[in-house]
């Protein structure tokens, strides 16, 4: 019996294999194609008929295909890769065909003319969005151009998958066994992790290092062995490039992706890919965005120049007269200790992962009156996970999966994704289910994972996305949760949550020292607070560099552009630290080549303007006002999905248009 072909409340992880997943995909695709034929044969379909025959089946197919991608991200196997390679062209072609289906398009046009005004606001918005999607799928194109568009979409989906897999394989491929003597300065918990990894592979007494971030970052920050730092840095920044195995080189993939995106934009009648990308975003033009980004760069550069000057000075104290890329994190840590009298490792001892999660849940309870109740009966894909019921006003409104530890076969980084979208169909409401995925140091020998302050902010960030998904009140999956929200606004709830980590009342609830059980002392908090804007100029310029590169790349008239030369030119214009010539950052820039941020990486800064502007209201009002303001934020931002433009939602909360002042203040670059 195939559990994926029977009704289930929770995805039956661990109870199905790849063959059964394939069987379910085939079955759902067959069913929906039958339904589409039935819909095509109707004269003038009503919205209820479209919803019943098409949307209810799309909901099931989306969920199942999403499950395939999810499993690849958290537990990559060759079997899953083969399955995705087999179905990706089929799924892509299905959706393009649907977007170019004249008969179904005709039904939508009929509904728009007949009875549209009688439909509820949610349904009208879904229909309006569908017209936009028909256009973006090439409904108005000639037969020849439709075929070309279909081929482009298929190739782009395959290339994006290959790009991501190459990064994963290149990251997993590198490992090195070293002795204790080669790791001077490394914190004890990191040494313990590296020893554990070596022992697992049968190398007792040695330490196994890798390019996974829980290993890479501490070595770059703390290891006194400069040669090892250089070796690890070079390995990290040349992943998936011509400096590694040819089969994992993303260089040609980047060129092909850029070429196809440009062709796609031209076929649809846009001047370039950026113009196409902005068609569904808040920002109005690339000029508006670039003006915004360069304005921030101009304000940040003096701060960043000062940051680098300080780094060079402290490096000289340690006998390093020429500061290199593999020295930046190391001397940044030394400088922080000198300036603020604390180290990141000292701070980390207070952030036990279970305590952080518990305090985060308490904050959410205070803001939105939402409880997270453990539910150990929910099937999971890994033993180290946690699963929860999400309770609001006594009702179970959704569920949360948390998979937070780094491991081989798992994509690096952190993200939130949907296991299930909110959807009311007939008498049944399917409540939302969210995944939060991170790559923290795994717990070892019954000792909890300890988080850096950056990792704490990462967890809060992803929880912001999850709340946006889970707390929706919209009953159609096409615009519930984060669906249908403009991509350059979708980071608002996540970045908003990050700023709570600077509040001492909140920090008291998420900290407990691993040995003494004490909460974060006020003295250490004050040191942390003083360091809030430490290297903020450098951090700002780094993000702006990526955003300007992304936008410029997709506006380039020639798809065969030398993207490394373009990035180097942008660095000359705005950066104050120039990496080595062998650095191949674009080859692992999965946000824009394998994710949804192509011509949209600026979204992080764009949305941060909105997030900081709103957070300043909470910050100014104080913790006693959190419940009232949280309710307002819930009603105007979190619960409304993609029903209205985010600018309208923002103005409903703030009573005015966004202002950049709060971003400058919280970034320390006023």
Phi, psi of 420 (to 5 degrees): -160, 140
Q: Compute the distance between CA of residue 473 and CA of residue 481 in angstroms, rounded to an integer.
A: 8
Angle at 306 between CA 302 and CA 310, to 5 degrees: 170
Q: Compute the distance between CA of residue 65 and CA of residue 42 in angstroms, rounded to an integer.
A: 28
Phi, psi of 146 (to 5 degrees): -60, -45
Phi, psi of 178 (to 5 degrees): -135, 170
CA-to-CA separations, 227 to 124, 182, 224, 233, 303, in angstroms, rounded: 62, 10, 9, 10, 30
Q: Retrieve residue 486's tokens.
A: 């403009």
Phi, psi of 244 (to 5 degrees): -120, -165
Phi, psi of 210 (to 5 degrees): -145, 180
Angle at 579 between CA 313 and CA 294, to 5 degrees: 90
Q: Compute the distance between CA of residue 66 and CA of residue 469 in angstroms, rounded to an integer.
A: 15
Q: Compute the distance between CA of residue 43 and CA of residue 52 in angstroms, rounded to an integer.
A: 16
CA-to-CA separations, 184 to 179, 180, 228, 508, in angstroms, rounded: 10, 7, 11, 32
Are 654 and 609 contacting, i.e. CB atoms less than 8 angstroms apart?
Answer: no
Q: Compute the distance between CA of residue 484 and CA of residue 641 in angstroms, rounded to an integer.
A: 7
Number of neighbours of residue 93 by Cβ within 10 angstroms: 15
Q: Retrieve residue 435's tokens.
A: 């995944």
Partners of residue 390 on adjacent β-strands: 372, 398
Determine if residue 416 is left, alpha or beta; phi over 0 gives left, psi from -120 to 50 gives alpha, anything else beta.
Answer: beta
Number of neighbours of residue 639 by Cβ within 10 angstroms: 19
Q: Which of 263, 333, 462, 545 is catalytic?
A: 462
Q: Compute the distance between CA of residue 407 and CA of residue 214 in angstroms, rounded to an integer.
A: 10
* DSSP SS3 for 416: strand
In 513-544, which positions are buried (b, 16+ CB within 10 angstroms) versus exposed (e)?
eeeeeebbeeebbebbeebebbbbbbbbbbbb
Residues contacting residue 601 through CB under 8 Å, at least 6 positions apart: 546, 547, 550, 551, 591, 592
Is 462 annotated as catalytic? yes
Q: Compute the distance between CA of residue 11 and CA of residue 9 in angstroms, rounded to an integer.
A: 7
Pairing of the two strands 433-440 and 395-405: parallel
Maximum C-alpha span of the chain: 81
Residue with tokens 């005004």: 117
HSE, CB side, 13 Å, CA atoms: give it for residue 271.
Answer: 8
Are 479 and 641 contacting, i.e. CB atoms less than 8 angstroms apart?
Answer: yes
Number of neighbours of residue 568 by Cβ within 10 angstroms: 17
Are 431 and 398 contacting, i.e. CB atoms less than 8 angstroms apart?
Answer: yes
Phi, psi of 417 (to 5 degrees): -145, 165
HSE, CB side, 13 Å, CA atoms: give it for residue 42.
Answer: 20
Q: Retrieve residue 246's tokens.
A: 């040819």
Cite the active site residues.
462
């Amino acid at each position: 019996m195939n559990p994926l072909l029977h009704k289930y409340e929770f995805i039956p992880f661990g109870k199905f294999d790849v063959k059964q997943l394939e069987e379910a995909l085939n079955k759902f695709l067959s069913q929906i194609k039958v339904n589409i034929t039935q819909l095509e044969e109707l004269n003038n379909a009503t919205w209820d008929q479209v919803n019943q025959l098409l949307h209810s089946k799309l909901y099931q197919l989306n969920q199942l295909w999403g499950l395939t991608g999810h499993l690849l991200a958290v537990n990559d196997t060759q079997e899953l890769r083969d399955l995705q390679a087999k179905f990706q062209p089929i799924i892509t072609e299905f959706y393009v065909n649907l977007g170019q289906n004249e008969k179904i398009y005709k039904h939508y046009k009929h509904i728009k003319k007949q009875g549209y005004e009688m439909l509820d606001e949610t349904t009208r918005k879904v229909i309006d969005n569908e017209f936009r999607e028909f256009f973006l799928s090439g409904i108005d194109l000639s037969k020849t151009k439709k075929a070309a568009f279909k081929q482009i979409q298929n190739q782009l989906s395959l290339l994006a998958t290959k790009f991501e897999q190459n990064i994963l394989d290149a990251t997993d491929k590198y490992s090195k066994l070293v002795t204790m003597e080669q790791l001077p300065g490394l914190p004890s918990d990191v040494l313990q992790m590296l020893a554990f990894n070596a022992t697992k592979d049968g190398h007792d007494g040695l330490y196994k290092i890798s390019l996974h971030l829980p290993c890479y970052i501490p070595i770059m920050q703390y290891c006194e062995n400069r040669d090892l730092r250089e070796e690890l840095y070079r390995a990290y920044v040349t992943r998936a490039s011509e400096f590694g195995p040819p089969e994992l080189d993303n260089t040609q993939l980047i060129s092909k992706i850029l070429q196809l995106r440009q062709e796609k934009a031209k076929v649809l009648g846009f001047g370039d890919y950026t113009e196409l990308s902005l068609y569904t975003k808040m920002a109005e033009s690339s000029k508006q965005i670039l003006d915004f980004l360069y304005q921030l760069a101009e304000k940040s550069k003096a701060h960043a120049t000062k940051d680098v000057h300080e780094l060079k000075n402290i490096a000289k104290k340690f006998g390093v007269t020429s500061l290199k890329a593999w020295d930046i994190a190391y001397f940044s840590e030394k400088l922080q200790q000198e300036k603020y009298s604390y180290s990141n490792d000292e701070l980390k001892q207070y952030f036990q992962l279970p305590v952080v999660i518990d305090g985060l849940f308490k904050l959410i309870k205070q803001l939105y009156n939402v409880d997270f109740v453990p539910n150990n009966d929910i099937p999971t894909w890994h033993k180290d996970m946690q699963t929860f019921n999400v309770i609001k006003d006594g009702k179970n409104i959704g569920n949360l999966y948390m998979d937070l530890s780094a491991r081989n076969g798992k994509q690096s980084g952190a993200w939130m994704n949907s296991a299930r979208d909110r959807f009311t169909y007939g008498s049944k409401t399917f409540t939302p289910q969210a995944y939060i995925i991170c790559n923290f140091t795994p717990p070892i020998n019954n000792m909890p994972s300890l988080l850096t302050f950056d990792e704490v902010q990462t967890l809060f960030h992803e929880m912001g996305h999850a709340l946006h998904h889970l707390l929706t009140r919209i009953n159609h999956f096409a615009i519930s949760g984060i669906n249908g929200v403009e991509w350059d606004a979708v980071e608002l709830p996540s970045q908003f949550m990050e700023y709570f980590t600077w509040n001492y009342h909140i920090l008291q609830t998420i900290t407990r020292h691993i040995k003494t059980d004490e909460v974060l002392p006020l003295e250490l908090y004050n040191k942390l607070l003083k360091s809030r804007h430490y290297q903020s100029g450098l951090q700002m310029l780094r993000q702006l560099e990526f955003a300007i590169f992304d936008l410029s790349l997709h506006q380039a008239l020639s798809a065969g552009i030398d993207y490394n030369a373009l990035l180097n030119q942008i660095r000359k214009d705005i950066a104050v630290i120039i990496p080595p010539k062998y650095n191949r950052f674009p080859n692992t820039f999965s946000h824009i080549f394998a994710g949804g941020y192509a011509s949209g990486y600026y979204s992080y800064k764009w949305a941060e303007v909105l997030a900081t502007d709103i957070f300043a209201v909470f910050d100014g009002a104080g913790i006693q006002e959190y419940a009232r303001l949280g309710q307002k934020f819930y009603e105007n931002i979190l619960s409304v999905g993609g029903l209205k433009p985010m600018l309208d939602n923002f103005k409903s909360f703030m009573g005015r248009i966004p202002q950049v002042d709060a971003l400058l203040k919280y970034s320390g670059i006023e």
